[in-house]
Amino acid sequence: MSLTGKRRSGSDGQLARTSGPGRTGADRAPATIGRVAEAAGVSRATVSRVMNGSPTVAPELAARVRAAAEAMNYQPSPVARSLALGRTSTVSLIVPDLANPMFQDVLRGLSQAAGTYGHRLLVAESNENVAEEAILAVEARRRSDGLVLASSRVPEAELHALSERLAPLVLLNRELPGTSVPSLSVDYAAGINAIVGHLRGLGHRHLTYLAGPVASTSDRDRRAALRASCATDTDCVLSELDCGSTFDDGHAAARAVVDTGATAVVAFNDMVAFGALSGLHELGLAVPRDISVTGFDDIPFARYTNPPLTTASIPRNELGRQAWERLWALLNGGPAGHNVRFQPRLLVRESTGPAPTRN
């Protein structure tokens, strides 16, 4: 029974016609509001009222309806309700990359928060593809009541143009100046400043930045903050090494790091830091005696490496939860509240120490 094409197929499909003569032997007709009404001997309006808990239904009728519904295992069709109500009780999340722990946590936070309010979550991954992201966003938005766009790569002008169609919309790690689109972000610059301050305080004059993926806006933020931070000091030297975002990237960069002669390395994220830690170790350097290493993110592992990693923690779940709150406010026609920038918290552990005194 391979039903191809899009013909409305007898009682094979999901929705069978109201009264087809060719019903399958068993009377497994789909439970619709009409059938329940019929069974209970009332109108569809009444069934609707009962299902929605309207108090203006005679107890006796209500009971009859409930019994019929129960017997037929009836549940109102969410799709039909959505059409009639003009809302889906669903929100969408678009992320660039589902493999990124950051987005996984956002997803979780958002899903849980939305669930609490009886809403479902539609997820889509843009694969870092800008063109596709815009399409996806529009489509996802239409299937739902609101949208959360995480680390959108869509150019400002385009996003601006789209923002009306996407509303209610909440932006994560991305701001849209000149609009009222709420935005929640991590203040990477502040995190970097904290890290640099910590390192400078330990006497480090020469830092090497292990840069993340070129397309990454969070890398751009960090890099810019690093440059600015160093530029304010006259005796601060900054080396930048293109690296990446994985353990292997960090590992591979160890040699180059040593060649820069820096006494401290600021890694794009924790994974890169771990890789560097490992590579440096293999090269016979002791951390933090010979060289200090910092990460970024505070992934769960960071406290367990050897040595435990000094890093900046960011509230990943919180982003998701708060995104929901903003969205919920918007869905109810209220103001979304002020934008926020989460300040990373510097966690000083054992991978950083005083700068070695050169001879």
Partner DNA sequence: TTGAAAGCGCTAACAG
Partner DNA sequence: CTGTTAGCGCTTTCAA
Applying CB under 8 A, which residues contact its own copies?
Answer: 1-4, 6, 8, 12-15, 73, 75, 77-80, 82-83, 85-88, 90, 98-99, 104, 107-108, 111-112, 115, 120-125, 138-140, 142-143, 145, 165, 247, 274-275, 278, 300-301, 304, 306, 332-334
Q: Rounded to the nearest whole angstrom, what is the least distance from the CB of residue 324 to DNA in the complex?
A: 23
Q: Residue 122 contacts by C-beta under 8 Å, 6 or more apart in sequence?
A: 90, 91, 92, 93, 140, 143, 144
Cα–Cα distance for residue pair 126/147, rounded to 1 Å: 14
Q: Rounded to the nearest whole angstrom, what is the least distance from the CB of residue 260 to its own copies in the complex?
A: 23
What does 32 bind: its own copies, DNA, none (CB cut-off 5 to 8 Å by kind)?
DNA
In contact, 312 and 195? CB cutoff 8 Å: yes
**Closest to its own copies by CB, 32 or 263:** 32
The binding site for DNA (CB under 7 A) comprises 6-8, 15-18, 30, 32-34, 41-46, 48-49, 51-52, 56-58, 60-62, 74-77, 80-81, 83-86
Which among 9, 348, 249, 99 has a CA at the least distance from the CA of 107? 99
Cα–Cα distance for residue pair 51/42, rounded to 1 Å: 13
* Both structure tokens of 25: 């032997």
What does 262 bind: its own copies, DNA, none (CB cut-off 5 to 8 Å by kind)?
none
In contact, 322 and 172? CB cutoff 8 Å: no
Q: Rounded to the nearest whole angstrom, what is the least distance from the CB of residue 140 to DNA in the complex?
A: 16
What does 296 bind: its own copies, DNA, none (CB cut-off 5 to 8 Å by kind)?
none
What does 284 bind: its own copies, DNA, none (CB cut-off 5 to 8 Å by kind)?
none
**Closest to its own copies by CB, 82 or 343:** 82
What does 34 bind: DNA, its own copies, none (CB cut-off 5 to 8 Å by kind)?
DNA
For 244, list phi and psi in degrees, rounded to 5. Answer: 150, -155
Q: Rounded to the nearest whole angstrom, what is the least distance from the CB of residue 148 to its own copies in the complex?
A: 13
In contact, 117 and 328? CB cutoff 8 Å: yes
What does 145 bind: its own copies, DNA, none (CB cut-off 5 to 8 Å by kind)?
its own copies
**Closest to its own copies by CB, 82 or 217:** 82
The identity of residue 33, as a single letter, is: I
Q: Rounded to the nearest whole angstrom, what is the least distance from the CB of residue 53 to DNA in the complex?
A: 10
**Closest to DNA by CB, 48 or 104:** 48
**Closest to its own copies by CB, 227 or 255:** 255
Which among 29, 2, 5, 26 has a CA at the least distance from the CA of 18? 29
CB pairs under 8 A, 24+ apart, for 329-332?
Answer: 330/146, 330/167, 330/168, 330/169, 330/170, 330/182, 331/145, 331/146, 331/168
**Closest to its own copies by CB, 174 or 251:** 251
What does 33 bind: its own copies, DNA, none (CB cut-off 5 to 8 Å by kind)?
DNA
Using the CB atoms, write b or e for 127-158: b if 16+ within 10 Å: eeeeeebbebbeebbeebbbbbbbbbbbeeee
What does 131 bind: DNA, its own copies, none (CB cut-off 5 to 8 Å by kind)?
none
Q: Rounded to the nearest whole angstrom, what is the least distance from the CB of residue 69 to DNA in the complex?
A: 10
Q: Rounded to the nearest whole angstrom, what is the least distance from the CB of residue 325 to its own copies in the complex?
A: 16
Secondary structure element (H or E) that encloses residue 340, with its range: strand 340-342
Q: Rounded to the nearest whole angstrom, what is the least distance from the CB of residue 56 to DNA in the complex?
A: 4
Secondary structure element (H or E) that encloses residue 191, with its range: helix 188-201
